[in-house]
Amino acid sequence: MRIAALLVAAGSGSRFGAGTPKQFLCIAGAPVIRHAAIALARHVSLLQPVGDGAAIEAALAGIKHLPVVTGGATRQDSVHAGLRALAPFKPDVVLVHDGARPFFPSTTIPDILAALEHAPGAIPAVPVADTLKRVIDGVIVASVPREGLFRAQTPQGFRFSTLLNLHGAAGVVLTDDASLLEQAGESVILVPGSEDNIKLTYKDDEMRLERVLNAGLSPRVGTGFDVHVFEAGRKLVLCGIQVAHEMGLGGHSDADVGIHALCDAIYGALAEGDIGRHFPPSDKNWKNADSARFLAHAMSRVRARSGVLANADITLICEQPKITPYALAMIARLSEILDVEAGRISVKATTTERLGFTGRGEGIAAQAAVMILLPP
């Protein structure tokens, strides 16, 4: 059976109120839509994103998917565009999922596929538990019985040919794809949904999703240490920022001792060796290279394993230059390279009270510690 998925991400997120569409906001270390794509990709052979091509390509970097299809004026238009793009591949089943839903239980898609053996449509849903009130102008006018009422979620699953035909014949705008089957008299089976399958809609949803997405991750700690000697005639680059000083640091690359220590900490937490394994100093490609490239690679390894950088703490050890005037700029630069919030990064400095290599002003040392959250 060939299974495809539509990842619908064409909405503007106006109710959320952020400048960035909600599906591209970063939660638990990655864009919301990326979490959704990873969850779908475990179960499907064809992943078809629908929405803003450039934004989706950036958010899904490294995840195998079909070329992005531009969304339509309504969600229904976007789904129809995605279905038409999938038609040449002739999938048996299509899952339609909201890009603003970053989590669903691992049992959801198997439950949907089992239900589709008996009906042309199946959706996850949770029963309404609260008393419902109908309100006009802030005043309750009636209570609505909640018996038999369910809250629909995604991914919703359908036999592909059925959904494509119904979308082509649809004459009204509906809020979900199951409604098309209902309108046509086709059966749609409910499978168990989850209270953790939250659609990012309002600000309060961010905190709830952060807890859900981090709940199943295991902490991994890594440390790094590096030393470089001062060398005349070179620029001094520390944590991605050029620092005013009469000498730079000697090394094969730009000798950014802070970033090198941080890279080693990340690789260590992943149990993937050290910076020398990935970027050997014997390789001429890295001669005078910007160490930001090394750090971006280290972070890409975290994301490749669906991990999250919880925090990073870097200490620069030197008598000179003074680091404090540059610390905020360093934090901002590392945050940019790592693509995480600045609040997850710490840069500070200390001396060795004029003792040893750094105390004699011969160079700079750095140590770093990180915590990474990885799936078990």
Measure CA 126 to chain center.
Answer: 26
Token representation of residue 303: 């994301």
Q: What is the residue-wise DSSP string for 196-251? A: T-----STHHHHHHHHHHHHTPEEEEEEEEEEEEEETTS-EEETTEEE--S-EE-S
Q: Which CATH architecture has domain 3-215?
A: Alpha-Beta Complex (3.90)
What DSSP designation does 160 have?
H
- Over residues 283-333, the pLDDT tens digits come to 888 888 999 999 999 999 998 887 889 999 999 999 999 999 999 999 999
In the chain, ranges of CATH 3.30.1330.50 domains: 218-374
- Beta-bridge mates of residue 228: 364
* Structural class in CATH, domain 218-374: alpha beta
What DSSP designation does 257 have?
H
Average pLDDT score, the chain: 92
Global pTM?
Answer: 0.70
For residue 21, give the nearest of 62, 54, 44 by alpha carbon. Answer: 54
Rounded Cα distance between 20 and 9, Å, is 12
Token representation of residue 283: 């390789």
Token representation of residue 179: 């409604």
Is residue 11 very low, low, confident or very high in pLDDT (cuts 50, 70, 90)?
low
What separation, in Å, do the N-terminal and C-terminal C-alpha atoms of the chain show? 29
Is residue 18 very low, low, confident or very high in pLDDT (cuts 50, 70, 90)?
low
Range 363-375 average pLDDT: 94
Token representation of residue 172: 């009204």
Q: Is 157 exposed, middle or buried (0-12, 13-18, 19+ CB in 10 A)?
A: buried
Rounded Cα distance between 253 and 318, Å, is 20
Q: Which helix (H) or strand (E) holds 53?
A: helix 53-59
Q: How wide is the angle at C-alpha 188 spanned by C-alphas 183 and 191, nearest 5°?
A: 145
Is residue 128 very low, low, confident or very high in pLDDT (cuts 50, 70, 90)?
very high
Range 113-137 average pLDDT: 95
Q: What is the pLDDT of residue 87?
A: 96
In the chain, ranges of CATH 3.90.550.10 domains: 3-215
Q: What is the pLDDT of residue 168?
A: 80
Find the DSSP H helices in 170-203.
Answer: 178-183
Rounded Cα distance between 142 and 133, Å, is 6
Range 351-375 average pLDDT: 94
> Cβ contacts of residue 47 below 8 Å, gap of 6+?
4, 5, 7, 37, 40, 41, 63, 64, 65, 66
Greatest Cα pair distance in the chain: 83
What DSSP designation does 345 have?
E
